[in-house]
Amino acid sequence: MPGTSKSANLDKQVESLLGGMPILNLRDVSMPNRPFPAGPLSGIRVLDLSRVLTGPFCSMILADLGAEVVKVEEPGSGDQTRTVPPFVEGESHYYMAINRNKQSIVVNLKTDEGREIILGLAEKSDIVLENFRPGVMARLGLAYEVLQKRKPDLIICSITGFGQESSMADVPSFDLVTQALSGIMSINGEADGPPTKMGVPMGDVGGGMWAAIAVLAALQHRTATGKGLHVDLSLLDGLVGLLGYLAEMYLVTGESPGRVGSAHHSIVPYGRYPVKDGHIVLALHVGPFWRKFCQAVGRADLIDNSKFKTTAYRQENREELEAIVTEILAEKTASEWGDFLRAADIPSSPVLNVGEALNQPAIEERGLIKDTAHPVAGKVRVVGSPIQYSGNFTEEAYAPSALLGQHTKAVLSGLLDYDNERINQLFSDGVVE
């Protein structure tokens, strides 16, 4: 049977890898009560037409909260992130990181039959998520007006670089471009260095979070009115929205803030400082912490020093104060300062690398790292959802990212009631994979 070879015996493989942990049977989408993900969005179905990062990050948030996500991928290679190294047994780390708890189907949207499949799935969904360029959905015969006519309470979320209607609507955009255009790069980096992009692709992941918020608000609107909404999300808007007080600084002064490295534009001491064996950060955000620090390090004289008595004075005399703090901190190692400052209730930390961050006790205690059992890659650990609900939704099992087209047959039969003959013909015609 076409479409069945990739999914044969997957349950047994997954059960063996997980050592008896509960698993998801995402292929059986016709089941009235899916065992997991269980969460506040259980019963909500998302048809995910998005690719790469922003849209998939949004749909993963929704999936982790219990929504059923049907991810549509293009024939051949699927989502572009499936080709990004490094790989585990041929499976991309990138794809696995942002596509857990989803079903994968392969549909050729450029065929009439493929479009009919998408329209049929949209009718059975609560949310359609897409991040094509403006106009592409219309050219595919999947415009908002078409989808809304088929299902008036459908929520459609369109994510683009610059919005559906703008002078830049047709301009190609990626995270790096929006970081540059948003002003984020201009304030990121050392004061004497060049503009630098953020290490995290904040335009994309921030856009995914904005999209999730918008979709959840649209669901509440639908509950209240019975009507769907079209969410028009611009990644540029999203990053500008994250500028926060730095945007306001320009709006009230007319001057753009510059780069201050790991320091703060207004608060001193606040930033990264060298120690004997590396770096620590010190965040003396309010007066009480400044006074605690001075007392702890034996420099109570600084508390009443007229140059450093208030936040404004400490900012005004930044250079002198930073030199004093740097000299004090150079006396100990990061570990020594960590223990000392924590005991004194002073907000500080050594600067950890990614591995150290993921393996620190606080992360383990919160259970943030989850085990999944991928049918090809084997046991794969992933960063789970940071959203936790006390005392609820305690049954937990994370489904790994799906193989390309792993659920095509099951979705067609389970959601659209296509019979085997029709499904086989669609496989033969190259409409689905």
What angle in degrees, to the nearest 10, is found between the helix axes of 54-64 and 202-225?
A: 50
- Residue 73 is encoded by which pair of tokens? 């991928």
**Structural element, H or E, at residue 223:** helix 202-225
- Give bridge partners of residue 219 from the DSSP assignment: none
Residue type, 280: I
Q: What distance in Å separates the CA atoms of residue 96 and residue 402, rounded to the nearest whole number?
A: 8
Please identify which of the residues 48, 79, 175, 204 carries the catalytic annotation.
204
Query: Which residues have C-beta within 8 Å of that of residue 34, sequence separation ≥ 6?
Result: 24, 25, 26, 42, 68
Give the long-range contacts of residues 247-254, CB within 8 A, separation 24 or more.
247/183
**What are the phi and psi torsion angles at 371 (to 5°)?**
-95, 130
CA separation for the pair 91, 93 (Å, rounded): 7
Contact 415, 103 (CB under 8 A): no
Beta-bridge partner residues of 85: none
Cα–Cα nearest to 228, from 135, 139, 127, 317: 127
Give the C-alpha distances (Å, rounded to integers) separating 100 from 26, 65, 185.
11, 12, 31
Q: Is there a catalytic annotation at residue 204?
A: yes
Phi first, then psi, for residue 6 (nearest 5°) are -70, -25
- φ, ψ of residue 152 in degrees (nearest 5): -60, -25
Beta bridge partner(s), residue 147: none
Known catalytic residues?
Answer: 204
